[in-house]
Structure 1
């Protein structure tokens, strides 16, 4: 958490100080965000203490960070600190949105219940390098280019792209080849046993790690910027854990 707080402080341009109560220390906000994600603690149960911030403070910080794109900058900086495996693997997972809200739609895999889909791109070691949240009925092909270009901008090198048939589109393969990257995208109608499952397991494991966060596994928040921020924060915490092992 200290690494994440330090990078946030380095990237964050706080508004000019005004008379009044000093701003909450970033490490307290990050600790509260981590607890909120992992335990699914209700907003009103987040009470300010010496080590944690209140729920209203956390919400204000997430709103400001969303406006400035701060968490995306932090994520990109952390990815640049680790020279990971040169493969890029894409996949999705869907969760039910109990209360509806932004970025929700009928989930075709859950009897059209309203839900949200998390799109994730990881390197060959399963480290998240790009992510996005959409309505559950958004086709995977519509998000491929966004994930690919985001990953290409932050990864040191991409050798191959692996994806299932949900991303099957010839222009996606052409996009990969334009950057000198070998596309391995399963084609619809192709028989099973292509061997892609042996290369795609890191992203499935990372999806499972993301869903260990209770606030992501079952969506209660209605605001789109909150769910996007929580997804990005979960990826950042996974990345920070990996960096802590490396160094």
Structure 2
């Protein structure tokens, strides 16, 4: 049997450890020795995979307390660790020619919640409050950027922010790349003003139009983002939003995107 999914492999830890902020050591009143970062990260992944409450994190597994894990996740998110890790992983994929820049695909299904900021009544789910995960992937379904908003935000309002959120991806000779050749989207993104804005960035818009028959053929390319959402929601913590704080839910979301990108390297299997 393979290792539990929340166990951080040596290969992944080698990429994450250099990015973690260093804590100053107290010499006069050192207090209790802090739980090692790697064990805390395992605890965070345990919550991400199993959707347990922080206070119910199994102490016998050596993760430290739930509050310790919560604080480290907060601090690492504020330090931009997950954004840096994502850029590192994308650069590795790019160097191996495993990013498909010929097209990018966007989507943003509604995601349920219980409480918190960055939520709002969904116009497509009987007004129930919730959040939206706005995602853009490459042609293989590798996450390029993700944004969290309230469920009442129209999909199209996040189209340009998603394009802006794609980090500069290194790994090849020349300038870092941030722009796909084409952008695929469903009817929720149908608006000529945004098509013009996409074209202004030298990206070809392939956006389905409303009031037209299905069978345009865009689904041949768009299915990859739907598969990536299935991978994202395979992390049980992302299915229902429990965090009151938007930044904590976003931290889980970005960490999950990093794990999916890491899996694309072939180091782990689904």
Task: Output the aligned Cα RMSD.
Answer: 2.2
Query: What's the counterpart of residue 38 of structure 2?
Result: 27
User: Which stretch shows the higher mean deviation, 231-240 or 24-33?
Assistant: 24-33
Contact 1:126 1:203 in 2 (8 A): yes
- Distance (Å, rounded) in 2 between the aligned partners of 1:43 and 1:164: 37
1:145 corresponds, among 160, 164, 173, to 160
1:235 corresponds, among 257, 263, 267, to 257
Contact 1:5 1:26 in 2 (8 A): no
Query: What's the counterpart of residue 226 of structure 1?
Result: 248
- Distance (Å, rounded) in 2 between the aligned partners of 1:23 and 1:244: 33
Shift of 1:116: 0.9
- Distance (Å, rounded) in 1 between the aligned partners of 2:47 and 2:65: 11
- Distance (Å, rounded) in 2 between the aligned partners of 1:243 and 1:17: 36
Relative to the length of structure 2, the TM-score reads 0.83
- Distance (Å, rounded) in 2 between the aligned partners of 1:202 and 1:212: 15
2:120 corresponds, among 105, 123, 129, to 105
Structure with more helix by fraction: 1
Query: What's the counterpart of residue 13 of structure 1?
Result: 21
Shift of 1:51: 4.5
Contact 2:141 2:227 in 1 (8 A): yes
User: Which stretch shows the higher mean deviation, 3-12 or 201-210?
Assistant: 3-12
Instruction: Give unpaired runs (5+ residues) of structure 1.
Output: none
Query: What's the counterpart of residue 40 of structure 1?
Result: 51
Higher relative contact order (CA 8 A, sep 6+): 1
For residues 154-177 of structure 1, give each alpha carbon's deviation from its aligned partner in whole angstroms, at most 9, with x where no partner exists: 374622111112122334323332
Q: Secondary structure at the match of 2:127?
A: coil
- Distance (Å, rounded) in 1 between the aligned partners of 2:21 and 2:105: 33
Shift of 1:49: 4.6
Query: What's the counterpart of residue 3 of structure 2?
Result: none
Change in 2 beyond 3 A, CA 1:175/1:245: farther
Instruction: Give unpaired runs (5+ residues) of structure 2.
Output: 1-7, 171-176
Contact 2:121 2:127 in 1 (8 A): yes
- Distance (Å, rounded) in 2 between the aligned partners of 1:20 and 1:143: 46
Q: Secondary structure at the match of 2:21?
A: coil
Counterparts of 1:27-176 in structure 2, within 5 Å, are: 27-49=38-60, 51-83=62-94, 84-86=99-101, 87-98=103-114, 100-151=115-166, 153-154=168-169, 156=177, 158-176=180-198
- Distance (Å, rounded) in 2 between the aligned partners of 1:205 and 1:72: 22
Relative to the length of structure 1, the TM-score reads 0.90
User: Which stretch shows the higher mean deviation, 161-170 or 131-140?
Assistant: 161-170
